[in-house]
Amino acid sequence: MNIDKNILDEANLAKLEAVNNPKVMEIVEKYVNLCKPSKVTVLTDSEEDMQYARDLAVKNGEEKKLSTEGHTIHFDGINDQGRDLENTRVLLPPGKKLSKAIKTLDREEGLKEVLGMLDGIMEGREMLVKFYCLGPENSKFAIPALQMTDSSYVVHSEDMLYRQGYNQFKNLNGSGEFFHFIHSSGEVDERKNTKNVDKRRVYMDLEEERVFTINNQYAGNSVGLKKLSLRLAIGKANKEDWLCEHMFIMGVKPEGKDRITYFTGAFPSACGKTSTAMIPGQTIVGDDIAYIRPGEDGISYAVNVEQGIFGIIADVNPTDDPLIYKSLTTPRELIFSNVLDVDGTPYWLNMGQDIPSKGENFSGDWEEGKQDDKGNAISPAHKNARYTIRINELDNADEHLDNPEGVPVSGMIYGGRDSDTSPPVVQSLSWAHGVFIGSAIESETTATVVGRPTGVRKHNPMSNIEFLTVPLATYIENHLKFGETLDKPPLIFSTNYFLKEDGKFLNEKVDKKVWVVWMEGRVHNEYEAIETPIGHIPKYDDLKALFKQIFDREYTEDEYKQQFSIKIDKLLERMDRMEATYKEEEGIPQVFHDHIQQQKERLVEAKEKYDKDVILPGEFE
Residues that bind ligand SPV (CB under 6 A): 83, 219-220, 226-227, 269, 288, 310, 448
34 vs 118: CA distance, rounded Å: 7
**DSSP three-state, residue 331:** coil
Task: State the Rg of the chain over Cα.
Answer: 24
Q: Which CB sits closer to ligand SPV, 8 or 202?
A: 202
Distance of CA 435 to the CA centre of its chain: 19
* Maximum C-alpha span of the chain: 81
State in angstroms the smallest separation of the CB of 532 from ligand SPV.
Answer: 30
Here's the x/- map for Mn ion, 247-286, by CB under 5 A: it reads as ----------------------------------------
Contact partner, 83, from ligand SPV, Mn ion, none, Cβ < 5-8 Å per class: ligand SPV
Contact partner, 231, from ligand SPV, Mn ion, none, Cβ < 5-8 Å per class: none
Residues 6+ apart with CB under 8 A from 309: 161, 274, 287, 288, 387, 388, 389, 391
Q: Please choose, from the candidates 75, 216, 74, the residue with its C-alpha nearest in 3D space to the C-alpha of residue 156.
A: 74
Q: Does 287 help bind Mn ion (rule: CB under 5 A)? A: no
Q: What is the DSSP letter of 127?
A: E
State in angstroms the smallest separation of the CB of 497 from Mn ion.
Answer: 17
Q: Which CB sits closer to ligand SPV, 82 or 489?
A: 82
State in angstroms the smallest separation of the CB of 305 from Mn ion.
Answer: 11
State in angstroms the smallest separation of the CB of 237 from ligand SPV.
Answer: 18
Q: Does 150 help bind Mn ion (rule: CB under 5 A)? A: no
State in angstroms the smallest separation of the CB of 276 from ligand SPV.
Answer: 13
State in angstroms the smallest separation of the CB of 132 from ligand SPV.
Answer: 16
Q: Which CB sits closer to ligand SPV, 229 or 269?
A: 269
Which secondary structure element, helix H or strand E, spans residue 266, and what is its range? strand 261-266
DSSP of 411-476, one letter per residue? EEEEEEB-SSSS-SEEE-SSHHHHHHHHHT-EEE--TTBTTS-SS-EEE-GGGTGGG--S-HHHHH
Q: Which CB sits closer to ligand SPV, 154 or 491?
A: 154
From the list 138-146, 288-296, 326-334, 433-441, the region that binds Mn ion by CB under 5 A is 288-296
Residue pair 40/126 in contact by the 8 Å Cβ criterion: yes
Contact partner, 219, from Mn ion, ligand SPV, none, Cβ < 5-8 Å per class: ligand SPV
State in angstroms the smallest separation of the CB of 425 from ligand SPV.
Answer: 22
CB atoms within 10 A of CB 573: 13
Q: Which CB sits closer to ligand SPV, 305 or 603?
A: 305
Question: Can 35 be counted among the known catalytic residues?
Answer: no
Which secondary structure element, helix H or strand E, spans residue 236, and what is its range? helix 229-240
Active-site pick, 35, 133, 244, 271:
271
How far lies 362's CA from each of 73, 76, 192, 258, 332, in Å? 11, 6, 11, 47, 23
Residue pair 447/610 in contact by the 8 Å Cβ criterion: no
Q: Which CB sits closer to Mn ion, 150 or 288?
A: 288
Contact partner, 156, from Mn ion, ligand SPV, none, Cβ < 5-8 Å per class: none
Q: Which CB sits closer to ligand SPV, 271 or 476?
A: 271
Q: What are phi and psi of 267, to 5 degrees?
A: -135, 140
Contact partner, 560, from Mn ion, ligand SPV, none, Cβ < 5-8 Å per class: none
Q: Exactly one of 63, 158, 288, 333 binds Mn ion (CB under 5 A); which one? A: 288
Residue pair 182/27 in contact by the 8 Å Cβ criterion: no
**Residue numbers at the binding site for Mn ion (CB under 5 A):** 288
Residues identified as active-site: 271
